[in-house]
Structure 1
Amino acid sequence: MVDLDLMLSLWNSIPKNETIQEGTIPFRFILIGDPHQLPSVGKGAVLSDFLSVLESKRFHFVSKLEESNRQQPNTNGEVSKIVTLAEEILKYSPENLNLGTKIDESFPKTNQIKENILYKSEVVWLQNIESSTSDYFSRDELVEKLWKEIFYPQIDRISSWKIQDSFCFDKPDFIQKFQEELKRFRCLTIFRSGYWGVDAIQTKIMNLAAQNLFFGKGGNFFAKRLSKGIYFVGLPILITRNDKSRKLFNGDIGIVLKTESTGELRAVFPIEGKLFSVCVRHSSRA
């Protein structure tokens, strides 16, 4: 998932084998990865571009893993639905436009997305039964449903926690409860920008949060407007830039909480099995 700029910097730093001293091993540049993996959020799909060029030139130093043992069939001989879906998608091409229908029909459908629902499969298609024209949701309809059924109840639940001070973060039962909430749900998209991108979906969610948490009634919510936006109890924080001084790194996820003793909001992160907090102003890089 290396982007084009980073790969170019790496490529330019490779030593040249113009003069090879006797008894030394020439430098070798080896790339290992999955060309079908999601590309980087930055520019380029580096590995797949490398492979397409090398294979077109019929070079013989490309090796492929033909069989993966990462996902083995279960006792009933069934393979993971996620693996099946991935294999079906890889078969898709402009010449096989009807494959989308085949994929749709091969997975269970549901019209509900809520916490604590046991689905028939690890992969299900969410159907819009309220529409007379299409069984798919628009982006805004889907995000509003996620907010109502998943995000809002979770924020309400976390807001009910009574945290007297930061010493509560050291208690094993609180750490376990915190970790359970952190892992409860993820909303993923393959795009950074655009209509279906992270930024647009995040903006929609924060607009819903502003409407419900500032202007709505009821609930245990606690929210503040700070210089760079809205912060509230239960808000997930994603670190996108390494901060070695606080042991926070790209991809780390935390939750905004409030301590009763100070009344201030803190971004709390699990680090090495413990919980650590920073002021939300210092976590604005997330």
Structure 2
Amino acid sequence: MLLIRGTFKVSGGARPDGDTLPFIPDDVAEWKLVPGCRRILPAADGRAPVRLEAVDALETHYGTGEQERHQPLKFAHRAADELLTWLGFTHVQRHDDETVTTVPEQVPGYVLTRGTDVHGRCVALVGRRVPPAYSGYWIDVDEKRLQKTANPHLVASGLAYPTFYTGLPGFLRDALAAAAQAARAATTPEKRGLWADDVTLTGAKITGMSSLTAYNGAVILPKLFRRLKDYLELKPADPSLTCFPAFLAGAADTYRIPQRPKPITGLQHIVEISDGHTVRMTHHAEEIVFEEK
């Protein structure tokens, strides 16, 4: 992975969540070294969003304008605050619009990246303080190096779901999967984090948008939330999920699961609907490996 040294600075109107935050390289020109389907276009101060590799926290803000929605904020905010605290921010104040102010205003750190996503965000492992090598160089990332980043910390804390793509080496996926399984099997709700309330596999009853967004709403895999939110907005007066499988087929997510040797297209193959309103997935998040786009 490509190592870039710099600072995390989340003030100035930034809206960091549990898996995305701004980063400014010490040498802004190093953004040009990051490969991917979309170029990184930094702001005037050099900052650009970094999306944590293999981590998906509950959404604090998804969508735009009047259609912006969030998942239950109890765990969404816990994940975001845990990420900032782990990086070295000693005080985080969150405002109603999800912007934050922090003390200190910025902290040193680094990213280890394979490239960008379709939104032009740098997808990376996120490290704190002094990096393990020189900035601007490609280095091998083993499990020991992985464990020094925030990504496995959030998964092991039970505050985020693992979400894998094919480009991440299998042995790193295995390490993150083991962390998720350990959190899910923890004996106390505090150690289990969101797994204590997760209903992705047991089933979430959806009677409207509030079923997904209320404080005590359904805690589900964020990718499933995003698909449900977009689906419900197509017909807000009718929350029936009868047509949701067809919607998932149209979204055409491509992925692999252990039982099937070939890629599968459409989440409808691993999502079940019952009574017209209850939705559940048939596989844990760590069993699904999405194809890179």
Between structure 1 and structure 2, the one with the greater Rg is 1
More strand as a share of residues: 2
Greater relative contact order structure (CA < 8 Å, 6+ sep): 2
**What TM-score, normalized by structure 2, do the two folds share?**
0.23
